[in-house]
């Protein structure tokens, strides 16, 4: 029986795309008491759509991340700490044994929004309506970028797509048409990270079972 189990595991690991085959669900808490809702609340429908395309369903809640829940929380502080990298507009940390808390820096997000709002019409060479679309899409892409960091659970950026940092003018242009996507590798890491998070409970019971032996 043990040999059979090893064989099954090898087959599973060898299958291409294993780990991203099934749909996943993630609960996201957007803080309603600080600036999180005002800054990012309008981005929820498009962020949901971005994740739906990679088979991840987002359940949105308003409020603080409940302790002990396997979920993602978003809160906002006024200023980035001195330790924040020059391009960072948020940070993720484990807030308890189960959840991940994303802290958005309001000053950095305003820096990201304002040059774009004020100066991009000429460099991008896009019409006013396209620029309005990009502005409207930006909160959703900020949510998608930060949630993807939290779901992957590792500190990395991609060379292109939603997890690129910093975004370029052409990335903003892609956002206007809702065409900026996750790379295949990011999709794999997101599903792997979510699966590992969900498996935490069964791993615990494996440990306690081993401890009883
Ligand atoms: Zn990032």
The enclosing domain of 201 has a CATH number of 3.40.390.10
CA of 157 from ligand 1 middle (Å) equals 6
Q: Is residue 156 part of a domain?
A: yes
How many domains is the chain built from?
1
Q: Which two tokens stand for residue 112?
A: 């990201």
Q: Is residue 13 part of a domain?
A: no
Q: Is residue 6 part of a domain?
A: no
Q: Is residue 148 part of a domain?
A: yes
Token look-up 């305003």 returns 110
CA of 180 from ligand 1 middle (Å) equals 15
Q: Is residue 11 part of a domain?
A: no
Question: How far apart are alpha carbons 119 and 9 in whole angstroms?
Answer: 54
CA of 12 from ligand 1 middle (Å) equals 31
Question: How far apart are alpha carbons 56 and 66 in whole angstroms?
Answer: 21
Give CA torsion, residues 12, 13, 17, 19, to 10 deg: 80
Flag whether pLDDT at 7 surpasses 50.
no
Flag whether pLDDT at 200 surpasses 60.
yes
Greater model confidence, 70 or 19: 70
Q: Is residue 134 part of a domain?
A: yes
Reported as a pLDDT band with limits 50, 70 and 90, residue 116 is: low
The answer to whether 162 and 180 have CB atoms below 8 angstroms apart is yes
Q: Which pLDDT belongs to residue 118?
A: 56
CA of 85 from ligand 1 middle (Å) equals 10
Q: Which pLDDT belongs to residue 21?
A: 57
Give the model confidence (pLDDT) of 22-54 as tens digits.
Answer: 899 999 999 999 999 999 999 999 999 999 999
Q: Which pLDDT belongs to residue 178?
A: 95
CA of 156 from ligand 1 middle (Å) equals 7
Q: Compute φ and ψ for 150, nearest 5 degrees.
A: -65, -40
Give the model confidence (pLDDT) of 143-153 as tens digits.
Answer: 999 999 999 98
Q: Is residue 86 part of a domain?
A: yes
CA of 167 from ligand 1 middle (Å) equals 10
CA of 56 from ligand 1 middle (Å) equals 19
Using DSSP, state whether 36 is helix, strand or coil.
helix
Q: Which two tokens stand for residue 147?
A: 């949630």
Question: How far apart are alpha carbons 203 and 208 in whole angstroms?
Answer: 9
Q: Which pLDDT belongs to residue 8?
A: 39
Q: Compute φ and ψ for 117, nearest 5 degrees.
A: -65, -35
Greater model confidence, 74 or 170: 74
Domain that holds residue 112: 23-205
Question: How far apart are alpha carbons 163 and 53 in whole angstroms?
Answer: 16
Angstrom distances, CA of residue 7 to CA of 1, 2, 36, 210:
10, 9, 48, 21
CA of 71 from ligand 1 middle (Å) equals 19
Number of H helices, E strands in the chain: 8, 5
Q: Is residue 3 part of a domain?
A: no
CA of 105 from ligand 1 middle (Å) equals 12
Give the model confidence (pLDDT) of 69-113 as tens digits.
Answer: 899 999 999 999 999 988 888 998 865 568 899 999 999 888 776
């Amino acid at each position: 029986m043990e040999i059979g189990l090893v064989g099954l595991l090898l087959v599973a690991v060898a299958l291409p795309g294993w780990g991203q085959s099934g749909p996943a669900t993630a609960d996201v808490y957007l803080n309603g008491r600080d600036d999180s809702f005002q800054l990012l609340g309008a981005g929820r429908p498009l962020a949901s759509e971005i994740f739906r395309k990679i088979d991840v369903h987002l359940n949105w809640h308003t409020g603080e991340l409940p302790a002990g829940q396997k979920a993602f929380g978003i809160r906002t502080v006024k200023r980035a700490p001195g330790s924040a990298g020059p391009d960072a507009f948020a940070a993720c940390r484990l807030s308890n044994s189960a959840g991940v808390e994303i802290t958005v820096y309001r000053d950095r997000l305003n820096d990201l929004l304002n040059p774009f709002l004020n100066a991009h019409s000429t460099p991008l060479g896009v019409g006013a309506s396209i620029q309005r679309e990009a502005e409207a899409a930006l909160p959703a892409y900020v949510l998608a970028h930060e949630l993807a960091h939290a779901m992957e659970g590792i500190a990395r950026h991609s060379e292109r797509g939603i997890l690129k940092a910093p975004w370029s003018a052409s990335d903003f242009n892609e956002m206007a048409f809702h065409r900026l996507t996750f790379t295949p590798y990011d999709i794999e890491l997101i599903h792997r990270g979510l699966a590992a998070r969900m498996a935490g409970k069964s791993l615990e019971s494996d440990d306690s079972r081993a401890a009883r032996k």
